[in-house]
Amino acid sequence: MSQAVAELAYPMSRTKPFNPPDGYADLREHQRFARVRLWDGTYPYLLTKFDDIRVVLSNPKFSCEPNREGFPHVFEGRMVADKADRSFLRLDNPEHDRLRRMVTKEFTVRRIEQLTPRIEESVDRLITQYSQLPQGADFVEHFSAPLPTEIITFLLGIPYEDHEFFHEATRIQFGSKSTPAEVRKSLDDLFNYLDALITRKEREPQDDIVSRLVAEQLKPGHVDRLTLINIVRLLLSAGHQTTQNMTALGVLTLLQHPDQLALIKSNPEMIPGAVEELLRFSSVLHVGARRVALEDIDVNGKLVKAGEGVICSIPAANRDPNLFPDPDKFDVERDAARHVAFGFGVHQCLGQVLARAELRIVYGSLFNRLPNLRLAVPFEKLRFRHDMFVYGVHELPLAW
């Protein structure tokens, strides 16, 4: 590897909290397939162009299985969690589709529409509780973390009172500084917890996703116990951490763009489009979607050889000016529907309908209930989640 390549370490740092790393735009323009150096001395490609990323994420010849030789592991601790994952997220077809179909019916548009009153009740209650706290209370701790956790634990049939345990597991398993030993211990604790939960559901089934998976998939032998534990773990972690961070970062984005906030407050019908623009603009999955080539593959004229790793930068794709003119501008009137914030292809986020519903309800209620909502500390004092797999803010002290 050349000295220039060796100096291009990944992940790269952000210099502006709302924007991807500065180098992405230059790479997109001049080096679509850039070699980057990971912590373990491997050199996968980093893709920053929207068209290239869509090709890779939709091509089954690029594998998402982390145990394959050449798969790019961006953090040492995260490698442990990835290799332990037997959910459909880390499987190729046909096994991916077989396992994913077991839960697809739980996240359809119709199911989420039926859930809407429950989400609205949670949002209203949490806003009321938050408004009764002292000025400067942390919005993450008291609103954006509890909301999606309440909803996903309700759906899964998991006690909400254990939420601190789930959040700590997420912090360890998705943190860039977590050691392999810490991740293994956290995984063991979470697997044991979910194993005990499944045992309870076998004994006393209820009207929830885990009970239905036990009855319809585990007992007939369509899935083994360890795989079921992994599926429930995936739904639990994905169901709260991405929406938690997107909720808080979206609120901060709107507060920092008062003209855009005024538009959606005076035109509530714009909220669905504003959610899509927030998803595009924020792209909280700031560590890219990772794949490894199973054979030599042509990607828009570039040959990726068998065994070479590829990192698809979602934030870079969502700032591609060929698709989104003036991409660094936050514009709620933009048509942002083609963003890839939820990924692309067969591994596209299963829970995106639920996430969109939660975000729409939050942004439709919060600023009307608390019209004077504002930052309680200088913007420069905020701590952004540069150290995590999913981007956001660690705390968000607000006043109202």
Could you read off the pLDDT of 156-204 as tens digits, one per residue?
Answer: 999 999 999 988 998 898 888 889 999 999 999 999 999 999 999 999 9
pLDDT of 1 reads 46
Other Cβ atoms within 10 Å of 309 Cβ, number: 23
Strand pairing partners for 187?
Answer: none
Per CATH, which fold does 3-399 belong to?
A: Cytochrome p450 (1.10.630)
pLDDT of 235 reads 94
Backbone angles phi, psi at 14, to 5 degrees: -85, 140
pLDDT level of residue 4 (50, 70, 90 thresholds)? very low
Could you read off the pLDDT of 202-256 as tens digits, one per residue?
Answer: 999 999 999 999 999 999 999 999 999 999 999 998 878 889 999 999 999 999 9
Strand ranges inside 1-146, DSSP E: 33-35, 45-47, 62-63
* Rounded distance between C-alpha atoms, residue 207 and residue 360, angstroms: 26
* Rounded distance between C-alpha atoms, residue 387 and residue 140, angstroms: 17
pLDDT, mean over the chain: 94
Could you read off the pLDDT of 17-71 as tens digits, one per residue?
Answer: 999 998 999 999 999 999 999 999 999 999 999 999 999 999 999 999 999 999 9
* Rounded distance between C-alpha atoms, residue 24 and residue 22, angstroms: 6
Could you read off the pLDDT of 111-147 as tens digits, one per residue?
Answer: 999 999 999 999 999 999 999 999 999 999 999 999 9
Average pLDDT for 386-390:
83
Cβ–Cβ < 8 Å for 233, 194: yes
pLDDT of 232 reads 96
Could you read off the pLDDT of 269-298 as tens digits, one per residue?
Answer: 999 999 999 999 999 988 889 999 999 999
98 Cβ partners below 8 Å, 6+ apart?
none
pLDDT of 155 reads 97
Please tell me the pTM assigned to this model.
0.93
* Rounded distance between C-alpha atoms, residue 268 and residue 365, angstroms: 10
Cβ–Cβ < 8 Å for 218, 225: yes
pLDDT of 161 reads 95
Q: Which residue ranges make up each domain of the chain?
A: 3-399
* Rounded distance between C-alpha atoms, residue 126 and residue 146, angstroms: 8
Q: How many CA atoms lie within 13 A of 205 on its CB side?
A: 12
For the cut 80, the answer to whether the pLDDT of residue 316 exceeds it is: yes
For the chain, report the end-to-end CA distance as a whole number of angstroms.
54
Question: How large a percentage of the chain has pLDDT more than 90?
Answer: 86
For the cut 50, the answer to whether the pLDDT of residue 391 exceeds it is: yes
Give the 3-state secondary structure of residue 309. strand
Other Cβ atoms within 10 Å of 239 Cβ, number: 25
Strand ranges inside the chain, DSSP E: 33-35, 45-47, 62-63, 289-293, 297-299, 302-304, 309-312, 374-375, 398-399
DSSP string, 134-183: PTT-BHIIIIITHHHHHHHHHHHT--GGGHHHHHHHHHHHTBTT--HHHH
DSSP string, 320-352: -TTTSSSTTS--TTS--TT--TT--GGGS-TTH
pLDDT of 31 reads 94
Higher-confidence position of 81 and 354: 354
Could you read off the pLDDT of 339-369 as tens digits, one per residue?
Answer: 999 999 999 999 999 999 999 999 999 999 9
Pull the structure tokens for residue 150.
């309440």
Task: From 62, 38, 46, select the one nearest 347 (Cα to Cα).
Answer: 62
pLDDT of 171 reads 86
For the cut 50, the answer to whether the pLDDT of residue 6 exceeds it is: no
Number of H helices, E strands in the chain: 16, 9
Cβ–Cβ < 8 Å for 144, 251: yes
Q: Which amino acid is at 188?
A: D
